[in-house]
Every structure is written in C-alpha cells, then in structure tokens.
Structure 1
C-alpha cells in the first residue's frame, strides 16, 4: 500500500513499534532500547521542572504533525498544548528533542533537524551519546535553519534562558 496519508497512518492504532509518516512513506523502528528510554525519561523530568513554571508541558514519544502527511515521534516535546489529541501540530511546539543513537544518527542530525526547521519549531535539542558519556546541543531557529545556541559535555553545564530558564549537566543522564 502507498502512498500513506495521515488518515491511513492514524488508522494503524497503537503499536509497540515507533511508526512515523514522512511524505507518504511509513518509517518503522522498534521501540528504543532501555538505555535510550532511561535517558529520555531523565531528560524529560529535568526539562519539566523548568518548563512547567512558565506554563509549558513536557511529553515524550508523541505524534507531532510537521506538515501534510508528515508525522514524527520525537523523544521529547515541549508545548503549550494541554489536550488529549492524538496528534500535536508543530505550531504548538516550543522545543523538540532527539536522543541520537548509532542506528538513527543521520536521521536525527540531518533529516529531522531539517524537517523541524521547515516546520518552524523554535528550538531543537540533541542528546549525543558516546559510550556512557552524553552531551547536549541546543539549536535555535534562525530564519529557515538552526544554529547551535549552547553546548555542554558531561561535567559541564548547559545553561539556557530561552525558551525557559534551564541548566543541566549531561552527566545526570547516565
């Protein structure tokens, strides 16, 4: 079957796989590793402490509509939307985050970064994994592309004031 539409995609229902829709094609990935999920949870918990006081909500692994027949499932989403919808529109997303794994490095660093910029999501956070060490790279939308705004390796602190005040040592993700 194909090309797939958003209606077809949503008709799939729940799955243990991570299924994304990109321009009519389904991209199927197995559920992330336990390590990936642990890092995602710790990251979401840390971001939530900073985002909630300014009225933003934090989610992990939710459907985000980037455009017509483009739905992705980022590792982290910060939004002002407080509803029970199945798909969140990119216009409501303040920050999106991806945890880079060896199997998806090119997609997260290039493809998704470009798609998020096209969708005009203001901030993109990349969590790089190198063995047991992590680094954080916050990118800010500048025109039609992202520029690196702040970087921290394990043992350093990523400190940002936008889109909310937040500081974190990537070592806390271990």
Structure 2
C-alpha cells in the first residue's frame, strides 16, 4: 500500500476545518469538506453534466438582479467543518476576483447536478446540510431520458428543512430567489441540433 502524501494528513488530530481548504495547493480541483473529511471527485464529469452546469450559470447570470453573483463550482462555508462545492451558486455578494468561497448567509440558491458518484451526497447529505445552514433555495437536477428534471426545494425556516415545491422538466418559471424563466430542454441541446 502506498503511503499518503503529507498534504492529505489533517493538521490537527480532529480532522479538517473549512479554512484548511485554502491551504491545500496539492489537492485536486473540486475538493470538498464534509463533516471534517476531504471529499474528492472520483470520476471524470460527463459532457452532459458540464454542459448543463455551464448553461445554467450563463442563464442565471443573465437573469440575476444587481447585487447577485452567479458562480460555478465555488465552495460554500456552511460551518467550521463543512465546505461543499455546489455546481452553481447564486449569492448576494460583491464580485471579488480572489474569492474562494461564499459564506452560507450570502447564498440565495445552490444547484447540484447529480452524477452517479455524487448522487447520494446530492440527494441526502447536501440537501440536509444546506438546509441546516439556512440557504433558502436548493435545486437538484437529475438526468432523465427526456432531458433534465429540476427538483426545486425551498427552506422551511423554523424547521431548517427543505420543502419540495416543484419538479420541472421542460420549462422552469419561478419568482424566488428572483424572477427566473428557463427553457430546460434548450440548456442541454446538442451543438447543431
């Protein structure tokens, strides 16, 4: 068995903390922190996933109001031991070119596009953690035979849990966190189609 590289050893006996992610230059891209443990993407992303994340980012940037930024693959500091990396983040925060994360109270919407290796985390672990951190809106995008299905969740604040409010398959029109109108089928249209 190969020894672990030094950078994979937590600096303290109790695991990793959110601020440690910024000091791991050797860590692979898209490293997340869940309950003090580093989580790595174990398989390459499929074209469908990347195309959808890019299209959602662009579409939401075009519709976001002044004062909101839309970023892809930016971590969110939920607490001292959790810093997941949603596929898309919409935050009420100024653009900062050296930013590496958003605070949970800045985030208005997180979107996870489900892939086979992230399915459990996206459907259960992150759903719970984003709600507990008070993030008002969570979308989970699943790949179906006919195209993307967006599962829209809204926070029940007093209970700190999400309530499912819609599943959209062709178009998605919402008034929160700001007016959004998306043609979901167009988001993943193949080039030349």
Judging changes above 3 Å, is the alpha-carbon distance between structure 1 residues 167 and 94 closer, same or farther for their aligned structure 2 residues?
same
Could you tell me how far apart the structure 2 residues matched to 1:120 and 1:145 are? 9
1:32 aligns with 2:32: no
**Aligned-partner Cα distance in 2 for 1:11–1:88:** 16
- Measured against aligned partners, the alpha-carbon deviations of 1:24-77 in whole angstroms (never above 9, x if no partner) come to 2101114533321111000111111111x3431100001210101211111000
In structure 1, what is the equivalent of residue 182 of structure 2? 168
Look up the match of 2:129.
115
Matched, 1:128 2:149: no
Q: 1:91/1:61 Cα in 2 relative to 1: closer, same or farther (>3 Å)?
A: same
Is the contact made by 1:48 and 1:57 (CA closer than 8 Å) also made in structure 2? Answer: yes
Q: CA deviation at 1:16?
A: 4.5
Query: Which protein shows a greater Rg?
Result: 2
Displacement of 1:170 in angstroms is 1.8
Alignment RMSD (CA, Å) = 1.7
Note if contact 1:61-1:75 (Cα within 8 Å) is conserved in structure 2: yes
Q: CA 1:163 to 1:8, structure 2 compared with 1: closer, same or farther past 3 Å?
A: closer
What TM-score, normalized by structure 2, do the two folds share?
Answer: 0.81
Counterparts of residues 10-89 of structure 1 (less than 5 Å): 10-13=22-25, 16-30=28-42, 32-51=45-64, 53-82=65-94, 83=96, 84-89=98-103
Structure 2: unaligned runs, 5 residues or longer:
1-8, 189-193
In structure 2, how many angstroms separate the alpha carbons of the residues matched to 1:141 and 1:148? 9
1:152 maps to 168
Aligned structure 1 segments of 4 or more residues deviating by more than 4 angstroms:
none
The whole-number CA distance in structure 1 between the counterparts of 2:167 and 2:115 is 18
TM-score (norm 1): 0.90
Compared CA separation, residues 96 and 60, structure 1 to 2 (3 A): same
Aligned length: 171
**Structure 1 stretches of 5 or more lacking a match?**
none
